[in-house]
Amino acid sequence: MTERGKAVATGRTVFIGLAALTIAEYVVAVSLTALPVLFILAVAKVWLIVVYFMHIGQLREGSH
């Protein structure tokens, strides 16, 4: 797979993950009312965005 293909595939996977977590959030809120679970789901979503969409790792690696 090309570099570009990998980048697009990563974006698609992360997007699907974020969508799944958002649905899970809604289901948890409607059925369980479990605050810690909602918090964990939100943190998981933020982790996906910050690591894969915002590329925070670039700070450690320097420019590339």
Partner 1 sequence: MTTSDHVVVSKLTLDRFGLWLFILSETGLFVALLAARFYLTGFEVPEEANQVVALTITSILLASSGTAYLAEVASRFGDSALFRKAMMATLLLGLVFLVGVGVEWSEAFHAFPPSTLYGSSFFFMTGMHAFHVLTGMIFLGIVYRMSRGAPASHKWPVEASVKYWHFVDVVWVFFYPALYLIN
The answer to whether 61 and 44 are in contact (CB under 8 A) is no
Query: Does the protein bind partner 1 through residue 58 (CB under 8 A)?
Result: yes
Query: Does the protein bind partner 1 through residue 20 (CB under 8 A)?
Result: no
Query: Does the protein bind partner 1 through residue 31 (CB under 8 A)?
Result: no
Nearer to partner 1, 1 or 4 (CB): 4
Closest CA to 13 of 5, 1, 25, 3: 5
Instruction: Report CA-CA distances (Å) from 52 to 4, 17, 29.
Output: 14, 11, 26
Query: Does the protein bind partner 1 through residue 36 (CB under 8 A)?
Result: no
In the complex, what is the shortest distance from the CB of residue 29 to partner 1, in angstroms, rounded to a whole number?
4
